[in-house]
Structure 1
Amino acid sequence: MQTQRIFPIAFLLALSGAAMMPSAGLAAGTEAAAPQPLPPLIQSLSGAYLAAKSAQLDGDLKASTSYFGQALDIDPTSEMLQQEAMFAYLAAGQFEDGVDLAAKLRESPDAGKVARIALGVDMLRKGQYAPAIAEFDILDPSDLDGLLLAHLSAWADAGDKRVDDALSRIRELDGAEWYPIFNNLQAGLIASLAGRNDVARGFFGNILADKANAQTSPDAYLAAAEALARLESQAGDKDAALAALDTGLELAANYDPLTFLKAKLEKGETLSPAIADVREGAAETLYILGQAINRGDGQQVAMLYFQLARALAPKDPSLLTALAGIAERSKRFDDAIAYYRDIPADSALRRTADLQTGLDLWYSEKKDAAKQHLRRAVADYPDNLQSYLALADVLSADKDYAEAAKALDKAVEIAVPTKQETWNLYYQRGIAHERLKQWDKAEPDFNKALELSPNQPQVLNYLGYSWVDMNRNLEKGLGMIKTAVDLRPNDGYIIDSLGWAYFRLARYDDAVEQLERAVLINPVDPTINDHLGDAYWRVGRTREAEFQWSRALVGIPKPEAAEVEKIEAKLKNGLPEDDRKAEMKNGEPTKAGVAAADPAGDGAPTAAPTAPAVTPN
């Protein structure tokens, strides 16, 4: 789907410049957030308005909506101010405040469309179905708005017990070639809620029969598999229910909502229906369409859809997870944790919420709380691979390689018999062992990673450099690094490793050439600048060396204290004399060209800055 063609223009214009998420507290059982002071009172209209816009740009919608409220107190008649405040309230999840303003703006040429959708959602929420349909009757909608409005109206028809009208309304939709999967899903859910199981099976089957549908909307495809499984379970056909789940799992083997339901079925439990009432159905419409555009510029529109859906289904786990994901992408980690906290304990997404909470604590610089939280998660989910990977991530980022290696040992124990082992699992464990100076364990892990995925640039880089650094397998090791560079020609960290390998081999001109390439790609990285400074010094470009070392001291991320001390010593005294010559054989180095104890060497391949990388499924 080419989402840039289906964004509702009014939404994008209205939300341009709007920030992401409302502020909120941390998850229960985690480090408490410092109380946020209330925004100060501002006496002038211009001051309150500018403060609101500034807070939006800073990503603080809680403060922004407070300032908009102050501005409206000063001038309650300004339509422009009402419009901006309405969008801010709705995006922040302050639905009641947004609806109050929407009632004043339903005839506005600029904001009327969004106002009427919000009013219609409010009427659906209250069971006022005919008035909801009247609000959704908007002229000349975009393709996406047209689909959304028709689906919401169909759910209102279903609420009024006019199921045939609801299904006819959906059947008549043919505005865009990507409509069918969404139409089939909503029609199936409406038919299922109405007890028309054969009709619902047909709609869900239409989706699952063509895997190309998953390319248009993987969320709708997986939702169809789940809804069909629940329908068959309610009908007493366990085998058919399991078959539906397996169809979805072929697309996403570790998708928690389906694996969770499969475990229930295998225990002999009967699954609950997919949709309990009209409000949940309408919320599902908003969620599925929001997910279809939840990327790039569409993320702000998706957030608005999710917040409207949340007014209908405030505890829906998928909605909360989606909102948390937007908060994470905008680095609003406390907000993300608050959304995860609200996911019910018996939800299939509870485990994911717990693991993501731990990673979000890390990213928000609550590192001790993150490690404590993820250790608890490992205890709570002792047989779950992702829990050990998440813990290993933060431990490795904290340079606690011994405990990280133990967590990865357990991960391998779980992964191998369940056939979930991946190259990255062995690669991460190999790094932990290498940092612990346990090469006899590290090398087999790197080799296993390459066995599982032979052309992984990261593994080729790490193993190749390690061999060069240890004066082993020199030609093969340098060849691996060159292959990694060929595979990732724009990866400054891998190019730096090649340059640093040349430096370790006393091939200083070659080192300068590669390190200059690396620093062009990653100009503020302290390690790359430090390496280039060393190479410049060895070829006699001492003033340029001093410049690069100075840049390394102010690089991002800031170098650690031990590295700062080394760099400052080089700025004061330069590098010690080095009379090595790179001896060559067929254009490649021999062992004689490698120093056993090069005073500039750091003994580790360059990699991207360490940070937790696992996002649990």
Structure 2
Amino acid sequence: MQTTRLLSLLTTALLLAGSPLSALAAGSTSEPPATATIGIQAQSLSGAYLAAKAAQLEGDLEAASDFYRQALAIDPDSDLLQQDAMFAFFANGRFEEGIDLAAKLRDTPEASKVARITLGVDALRKGDYDKAIAELDIVNPSDLDALLLGHLTAWAELGAGRVDSALSRIDGLDSAPWYAIFNAYEKGLLAEVAGRVDVARRSYGQVVDDQELARTSPDAYLAAAEALARLEMRANNSDAALAAVDKGLELVGSYDPLLHLRQRIEKGEMIEPAVADVQDGAAETLYILGQAINRGDGQQVALLYFQLARAIEPRSPALLTALAGIAERSERLDLAISYYREIPESSAYRRTADLQIGLDLWYAERKDEAKEHLRRAVRDYPDDVQAHTALADVLAADKDYAGAAEALDQAVRLAEAEDSAGWNLYYQRGIAHERLKQWDKAEPDFRKSLELSPNQPAVLNYLGYSWVDMNRNLEEGLDMIKKAVTLRPNDGYIIDSLGWAYYRLGRYEEAVDELERAVLITPMDPTINDHLGDAYWHVGRKREAEFQWERALNGEPAPEPNVVEAIKVKLEKGLQPETDEGGSADGQAEPAEDASAPSGPRANATPPESGTEAD
């Protein structure tokens, strides 16, 4: 029909490089009211559709959903429009609206797979298990789809009372070697819900006893350790329960759910099972597989899995945390904060939520709220290293280095003295002391950081350059910067430090060589361009120096006002002795910041993301 042709043309114009799933990575929200919320009324079908697509591309799925509803009101029969709207509704957490469209699109080739999976999930959550099995019987699935469909179907089989069939279905999933950890964990959950405790114990143990499996999915490994600990505690085997917890903590020592569970076990509390019923199990399936692919392009599909899981289990703290993480990566910080605030006070995820709320408030430019929130978090978690570190990060970003140093004093006091992971605490405190011009305190911190972790390029760069800048330990300092460059040969900021160290030592030709390399890697940085301009001036390449200073004025991020004025003076009068002493345009040379420098307040307050190996 003509409408479908129009929408096809619009889709081609807007999303040549994308697919209908391209918007799924943009963010999500809890189930909102069905009424329009943006207050903007499109004047035509094409206007509504274009506005919906534009909102998707900008990551505003709430507005996209509203415009899709307006477009559907004009033309409710377009398959293409229904398909795009269905994906947006599911990504936005509007499950009921998405299901209505899925029922219409069940047999449409372009949308059939997603439509049938979501219809199967809907049947599962409603307890209509035979219908779920029928919907999930999809031919020629990919490896990932086959695993998801097999696990969800096994839960439906269990719900229908066919325990042996459910467990056999898991055993029959063997087309890819990476299935192993997921199959063992799922079989344990199924067996435990079915009351077959020995089978569950063996299945969980199969995961926990082979830490190599964690390379495929750290989340599944940690979940299996937690499930085994819960099972053993419910069987009055507290020692075995603690042993299972310890296995998980060997992988990630700061994983809050296991630390929280350990405290409860030691208190002798009643411990709930990992999943309570078929619905919980199906939601866990979607969550664990979603976490396994929740990075890069896979985040699109992970968001769909998470939202389907939330349709079954809307209050899951793990799901809320995962959805908040996607919202953060999409820079939808208010949405992330709203997810974190839904997490119950009693949850093991509450501490993570509190710290991330503070950091998200900062990045949302609600800086006073952020500082107050994190000060309250420090009061609530006085013995928590990450709480003090998060506060220090925002204070340092606010240039309150005295406050940052004080918070880091507490973090260092609480951290294990010889824990190599603590190098960053000393590094950050060293920077705070250096900015306060307390070098007698800064240098020991940098040295301690390198003692704990000798090959940290950020620390080598900072300490080495600081020495060169102060005309101390020149050879050792230059060697440190060279080592940092060797460790990070493609880091323009560290190469800039090496070039600038040569400049400060009067080795201008060598400075030019390094600074030219740095500016090729990081061409828009104003400081690097400014440094190269100064070096060019000293070797007589004055026209090129002026060109680099002009580039510095137009760099990203924009230089500070005092730097702008100093560069303008150089453009007018050339490099003057009074500006040449410190070398840089503002007369105050500092070590170049790199990706590891605390230039922004992002603390490691969340558990390790799926797909990364724990340290």
TM-score, normalised by the number of residues in structure 2: 0.91
- Superposition deviation, residue 366 in structure 1: 2.0
- Superposition deviation, residue 539 in structure 1: 2.2
Change (3 A) 1:607 1:204: same
Q: Does 1:90 align with 2:96?
A: no
Query: In structure 1, what is the equivalent of residue 101 of structure 2?
Result: 101
Query: In structure 2, what is the equivalent of residue 179 of structure 1?
Result: 179
CA distance in 1, matches of 2:220, 2:292: 9
Query: In structure 2, what is the equivalent of residue 16 of structure 1?
Result: 22
Q: For structure 2, which runs of at least 5 residues remain unmatched after alignment?
A: 1-17, 608-615
CA distance in 1, matches of 2:141, 2:223: 26
After superposition, give the CA deviation of every residue in 1:517-554 in whole Å (9 maximum; x if it has no partner): 11111111111112112222222323322222222222
Q: Does 1:46 align with 2:32?
A: no
Q: Does 1:615 align with 2:604?
A: yes
- What residue identity is the alignment partner of 2:204? F
CA distance in 2, matches of 1:484, 1:48: 53
- Superposition deviation, residue 443 in structure 1: 0.6
Query: In structure 2, what is the equivalent of residue 285 of structure 1?
Result: 285
Q: Give SS of 2:593's match.
A: coil
Q: Give SS of 2:334's match.
A: helix
Change (3 A) 1:211 1:579: closer
Q: Does 1:602 align with 2:602?
A: no
- What residue identity is the alignment partner of 2:530? D
Change (3 A) 1:144 1:493: same
Aligned length: 582
TM-score, normalised by the number of residues in structure 1: 0.91
- What residue identity is the alignment partner of 1:395? L
- Superposition deviation, residue 228 in structure 1: 0.4
The 8 Å contact of residues 19 and 61 in structure 1, kept in 2 or not, is answered as: no
- What residue identity is the alignment partner of 1:315? R
The 8 Å contact of residues 412 and 421 in structure 1, kept in 2 or not, is answered as: no
The 8 Å contact of residues 25 and 299 in structure 2, kept in 1 or not, is answered as: no
- What residue identity is the alignment partner of 2:424? N
- Superposition deviation, residue 18 in structure 1: 4.6
- Superposition deviation, residue 16 in structure 1: 3.1
The 8 Å contact of residues 213 and 221 in structure 1, kept in 2 or not, is answered as: yes
- What residue identity is the alignment partner of 2:490? N
- What residue identity is the alignment partner of 2:135? E
- What residue identity is the alignment partner of 2:106? R
After superposition, give the CA deviation of every residue in 1:66-98 in whole Å (9 maximum; x if it has no partner): 111111111101011111110111111110000
The 8 Å contact of residues 24 and 304 in structure 2, kept in 1 or not, is answered as: no
Query: In structure 2, what is the equivalent of residue 573 of structure 1?
Result: 573
The 8 Å contact of residues 426 and 445 in structure 1, kept in 2 or not, is answered as: yes
The 8 Å contact of residues 530 and 585 in structure 2, kept in 1 or not, is answered as: no
- What residue identity is the alignment partner of 2:26? M
Change (3 A) 1:607 1:553: same
Query: In structure 2, what is the equivalent of residue 387 of structure 1?
Result: 387
The 8 Å contact of residues 24 and 301 in structure 2, kept in 1 or not, is answered as: no
- Superposition deviation, residue 565 in structure 1: 2.6
- What residue identity is the alignment partner of 1:479? D
- Superposition deviation, residue 38 in structure 1: 1.1
CA distance in 2, matches of 1:602, 1:577: 14
After superposition, give the CA deviation of every residue in 1:50-76 in whole Å (9 maximum; x if it has no partner): 111111111111111111111111110
CA distance in 1, matches of 2:80, 2:37: 28
- Superposition deviation, residue 596 in structure 1: 8.4
Q: For structure 1, which runs of at least 5 residues remain unmatched after alignment?
A: 1-11, 26-35, 581-594
The 8 Å contact of residues 567 and 585 in structure 2, kept in 1 or not, is answered as: no
The 8 Å contact of residues 534 and 583 in structure 2, kept in 1 or not, is answered as: no
Range moving further from structure 2, 68-77 or 562-571? 562-571
CA distance in 1, matches of 2:494, 2:452: 21
The 8 Å contact of residues 26 and 60 in structure 2, kept in 1 or not, is answered as: yes
Matches within 5 A, 1:80-229: 80-229=80-229
- What residue identity is the alignment partner of 2:588? D
Q: Does 1:398 align with 2:398?
A: yes
Q: Give SS of 1:212's match.
A: helix
The 8 Å contact of residues 39 and 67 in structure 1, kept in 2 or not, is answered as: no
CA distance in 2, matches of 1:324, 1:367: 20
CA distance in 2, matches of 1:170, 1:466: 59
Change (3 A) 1:247 1:579: closer
After superposition, give the CA deviation of every residue in 1:247-293 in whole Å (9 maximum; x if it has no partner): 11111111111111011112222321111121111000001111111
Matches within 5 A, 1:179-578: 179-416=179-416, 419=419, 422-577=422-577
Range moving further from structure 2, 148-157 or 432-441? 148-157
Change (3 A) 1:18 1:349: closer
Alignment RMSD (CA, Å): 2.1
CA distance in 2, matches of 1:299, 1:248: 25
CA distance in 2, matches of 1:238, 1:546: 73
- What residue identity is the alignment partner of 2:249? L
CA distance in 2, matches of 1:242, 1:473: 51
CA distance in 1, matches of 2:152, 2:584: 69
- Superposition deviation, residue 509 in structure 1: 1.8
CA distance in 2, matches of 1:577, 1:604: 19
Structure 1 vs Structure 2: percent identity of aligned residues?
A: 66
The 8 Å contact of residues 28 and 323 in structure 2, kept in 1 or not, is answered as: no
- Superposition deviation, residue 575 in structure 1: 2.0
Q: Give SS of 1:297's match.
A: helix
